[in-house]
C-alpha cells in the first residue's frame, strides 16, 4: 500500500441498498454465500441488511455478523431508537460490528417526509448517534439527500454527528442529482468547515439516476472521502448504485490520475458479478463495463487486427485481471476426472469430493449431448449441482408436445423420495404444461414469482439456464436454477430445485410437499 492516506475503504451494500431494488430479493442462503464471497474478495465493510425491516433481515445480518472473518459487518437503522437497538443486537456478534444510522437533511425531505424543523433534526442526530455509540464503537452516520442540503446546515449536522460519536460520515447523493465537481466541492467544504472533521472518515454513496454514480464517487475521493459505498453490478434503488467493479478497476487502471488503493482482489470481480446476478436473477447487460459479456470482446476487423498484433491496442486492462478466462473450447467427452477438477480450480470453484463426483457425472452426461463444452457450461453445471445437493425430488423424464396446434402437453416423470411418479398435463404453452404436471404430483401453494431463461453460450445447441423463483404462503422466497440443452428440461429442473429448497427449509416431514400416489 502506498500510504494509508490513499487507502480507500470499500463498503459493499449489495445486500442492503442492492437488495432494496424491486425484484432483487435474495434468500437467506444466497445472502450468506454472497457475504462470504465479499469477505474473501477483500471488501472492508459489508452492509448486510436493515435489521428492523423484517425478521428475515435481522436473521441474515446476525448470521453474517457471526460468520464473516475479516470485514466489518454493518446493519442499517433509521434515526429511531427501536431501529438502532435492533441493528446493535444484529451486529453484536461480529468481530467488527457497525451501526449505520441515517436521517434526511434536505429542505424537501424535512418539509414533506419528516415534517420536522432543522433544529429538531439536529437534536435527533445527537440523540440517535449517542444511543448507537453506547451499543458499538463503530458508528456511521448518513445525511440522506446530502447533495440537496444547504452547505451551512449540512455542516451543522455533520458537526453534531461527530460530536455525538460518529466515526464515519456518509454524504449520499440519494437521488443521483450531483455532478462530479459539485460532489467533490461538497466534501471539500464540509471537511474544511466542520471542526474535528479529521476525527471521522468521510464516505461517498452515489445513485445512478443520471449515469454519474461512479464518476461522482471518484469526485468524492478527490474531495477527501476515503470510503466508497457501492454494489456488485451496480444494483440498487431505481437506476442503481455505483458499481463496485467499475470503481475498483478505474482506480487500478488509472493510478496515474487516481492515486488510491483498495484491498479488493480484482481477479474475483467476474465471479462476484455472476454470483449476484444468479442470486437476484438480474441479468448483467452485455456491454456492462468490466463484467459484461462483451467487455473484452473485439468484433470489428480493425480491432481484431490490432489485438492480434498487440493486445494493448484496444485493451486497457486484461480479461484475466478481472477473472475472465477467455472463452475456450475446454473439454469434451474424453476428458477425465483430473482434468475436470483442474478446470474447476481454474474457474475458482472449491467444492467437496462428493460435489465434484456429482458434477463430473453431470459433465459426462452433458458431453454426450453437446459437442462443444465451454467454461460457462461448466459454471452452470456446478452452480446447479451446488443448488441440488439435498434433493428429495428429481426430474427423471420429460416428453413435451409443443407447436402451433394447442393445447400443449407434457408427460413428466419425477423421482419423489425414491419412488417414480408420472403425470400428464396440458397448459398454455409447454412450460405451463410442464409446471402443471409438477403441480399435480406435488400439490403446493407456492406462487411463481419469476421465470427467466438465458442462453449460457452462443449457438442453437447452447445450454439454457433457467431461474425459477417461488414464494411460499409465508412469503419466503427461494430461487431454483438449472441448465440443460433442452429449455423445457431446464425449466422443470429449476422448478424442482426451488421446491426442494422450500421443503428443506421446512424439514423433511412437511405435509405441504407430498406426492399424489395414484399415477405412479
Ligand atoms: O441513498 C441513500 O441515501 C441511502 C442511505 C440510507 C445511506 O441509501
Ligand atoms: Zn442509497
- According to the model, what pLDDT value does residue 21 have? 82
CATH homologous superfamily of domain 10-280? Aldolase class I (3.20.20.70)
Q: Which ligand is nearest to the CA of 83?
A: 1
Residue 106's φ and ψ, nearest 5 degrees, are -80, 155
Q: Which ligand is nearest to the CA of 174?
A: 1
**Distance between CA atoms of residues 408 and 103, nearest Å:** 55
Q: Is 238 helix (H, G, I), strand (E, B) or coil?
A: coil
Residue 400 has pLDDT above 50, yes or no: yes
Closest ligand 1 atom, CA of 146?
3
Pocket flag, ligand 1, residue 172 (CB < 6 Å): yes
Q: Is 97 helix (H, G, I), strand (E, B) or coil?
A: strand
Name the pLDDT band for 371 (thresholds 50, 70, 90): confident
57-111 pLDDT tens trace = 999 999 999 999 999 999 999 999 999 999 999 999 999 999 999 999 999 999 9
- 393-506 has CATH 2.102.10.10 classification: no
- According to the model, what pLDDT value does residue 256 have? 97
Compute the mean pLDDT over every residue in the chain, rounded to the nearest whole number: 90
Looking only at the bridges linking them, the beta strands covering 408-416 and 419-427 are: antiparallel
**Greatest mean pLDDT range, 35-49, 444-458, 499-513:** 35-49
Q: What is the DSSP letter of 324?
A: P
Residue 160 has pLDDT above 90, yes or no: yes
- What residue's CA is closest to ligand 1, atom 6? 102
**Of 228, 215, 211, residue with least CA distance to 254:** 215
Is residue 146 reached through a cis peptide bond, with omega within 30 degrees of 0 on the bond before it? no
Residue spans per domain, the chain: 10-280, 327-387, 393-506
Residue 243 has pLDDT above 50, yes or no: yes
- According to the model, what pLDDT value does residue 209 have? 98
- According to the model, what pLDDT value does residue 386 have? 53
- Is pTM beyond 0.85? Reply is no
Name the pLDDT band for 116 (thresholds 50, 70, 90): very high
CA angle (297 as vertex; 292, 300 as ends), nearest 5: 135
Cα radius of gyration (the chain): 25
- What residue's CA is closest to ligand 1, atom 1? 174
Lowest mean pLDDT among 283-287, 349-353, 496-500: 349-353
Interval between CA 252 and ligand 1 midpoint (Å) = 26
166-188 pLDDT tens trace = 999 999 999 999 999 999 999 99
Interval between CA 226 and ligand 1 midpoint (Å) = 17
Report CA 423 to chain centroid distance, whole Å.
Answer: 37
- What residue's CA is closest to ligand 1, atom 2? 174
Q: Are 366 and 373 in contact (CB under 8 A)?
A: yes
- According to the model, what pLDDT value does residue 331 have? 74
Pocket flag, ligand 1, residue 142 (CB < 6 Å): yes
Owner of C-alpha cell 456518509: 170
Bigger pLDDT: 413 vs 497 = 413
Closest ligand 1 atom, CA of 229?
7
Pocket flag, ligand 1, residue 470 (CB < 6 Å): no
Amino acid at each position: 500500500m502506498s500510504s494509508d492516506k490513499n487507502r480507500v475503504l470499500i463498503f459493499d451494500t449489495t445486500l442492503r441498498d442492492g437488495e432494496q431494488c424491486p425484484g432483487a430479493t435474495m434468500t437467506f442462503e444466497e445472502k450468506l454465500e454472497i457475504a462470504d464471497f465479499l469477505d474473501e474478495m477483500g471488501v472492508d465493510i459489508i452492509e448486510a441488511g436493515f435489521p428492523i425491516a423484517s425478521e428475515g433481515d435481522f436473521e441474515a445480518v446476525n448470521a453474517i455478523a457471526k460468520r464473516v472473518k475479516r470485514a466489518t459487518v454493518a446493519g442499517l437503522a433509521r434515526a429511531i431508537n427501536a431501529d438502532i437497538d435492533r441493528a446493535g443486537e444484529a451486529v453484536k456478534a461480529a468481530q467488527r460490528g457497525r451501526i449505520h444510522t441515517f436521517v434526511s437533511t434536505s429542505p424537501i425531505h424535512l418539509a414533506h417526509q419528516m415534517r420536522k424543523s432543522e433544529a429538531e433534526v439536529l437534536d435527533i442526530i445527537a440523540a440517535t448517534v449517542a444511543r448507537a455509540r453506547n451499543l458499538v464503537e463503530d458508528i456511521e452516520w448518513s445525511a440522506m439527500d446530502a447533495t440537496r442540503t444547504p452547505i451551512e446546515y449540512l455542516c451543522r449536522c455533520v458537526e453534531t454527528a461527530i460530536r455525538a460519536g460518529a466515526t464515519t460520515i456518509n454524504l449520499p447523493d440519494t437521488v443521483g442529482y450531483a455532478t462530479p465537481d459539485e460532489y467533490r466541492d461538497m466534501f471539500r467544504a464540509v471537511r474544511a468547515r466542520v471542526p474535528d472533521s479529521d476525527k471521522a472518515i468521510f464516505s461517498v454513496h452515489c445513485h445512478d439516476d443520471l449515469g454519474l454514480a461512479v464518476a461522482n464517487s471518484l469526485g468524492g475521493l478527490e474531495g477527501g472521502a476515503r470510503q466508497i459505498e457501492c454494489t456488485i453490478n451496480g444494483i440498487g434503488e431505481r437506476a442503481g448504485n455505483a458499481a463496485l467493479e467499475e470503481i475498483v478497476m478505474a482506480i487500478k487502471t488509472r493510478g496515474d490520475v487516481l492515486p488510491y488503493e483498495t484491498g479488493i482482489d480484482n481477479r474475483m470481480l467476474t465471479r462476484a458479478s455472476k454470483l449476484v446476478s444468479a442470486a437476484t436473477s438480474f441479468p448483467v447487460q452485455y456491454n456492462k463495463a468490466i463484467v459484461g459479456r462483451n467487455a473484452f470482446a473485439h468484433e470489428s476487423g480493425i480491432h481484431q487486427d490490432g489485438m492480434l498484433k498487440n493486445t494493448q491496442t484496444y485493451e486497457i486492462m486484461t480479461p484475466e485481471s478481472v477473472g475472465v478466462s477467455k472463452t475456450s473450447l475446454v473439454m469434451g467427452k474424453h476428458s477425465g476426472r483430473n482434468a475436470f477438477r483442474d478446470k474447476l480450480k481454474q474457474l475458482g470453484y472449491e467444492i467437496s469430493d462428493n460435489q465434484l463426483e456429482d458434477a463430473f457425472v453431470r459433465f459426462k452426461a452433458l458431453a454426450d449431448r453437446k459437442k462443444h463444452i465451454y467454461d460457462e457450461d461448466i459454471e452452470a453445471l456446478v452452480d446447479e449441482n451446488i443448488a441440488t445437493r439435498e434433493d428429495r425430488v428429481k426430474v427423471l423424464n420429460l416428453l413435451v408436445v409443443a407447436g402451433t396446434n394447442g393445447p400443449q402437453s407434457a408427460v413428466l416423470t419425477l423421482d419423489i423420495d425414491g419412488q417414480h411418479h408420472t403425470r400428464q398435463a396440458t397448459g398454455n404453452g409447454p412450460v405451463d404444461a410442464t409446471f402443471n404436471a409438477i403441480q399435480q404430483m406435488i400439490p403446493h401453494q407456492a406462487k411463481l414469482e419469476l421465470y427467466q431463461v438465458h442462453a449460457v453460450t452462443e449457438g442453437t445447441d447452447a445450454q439454457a439456464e433457467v431461474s425459477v423463483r417461488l414464494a411460499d404462503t409465508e412469503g419466503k422466497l427461494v430461487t431454483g436454477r438449472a441448465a440443460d440443452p433442452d429449455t423445457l428440461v431446464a425449466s422443470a429442473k429449476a422448478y424442482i430445485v426451488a421446491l426442494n429448497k422450500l421443503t428443506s427449509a421446512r424439514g423433511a416431514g412437511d405435509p405441504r410437499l407430498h406426492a399424489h400416489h395414484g399415477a405412479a
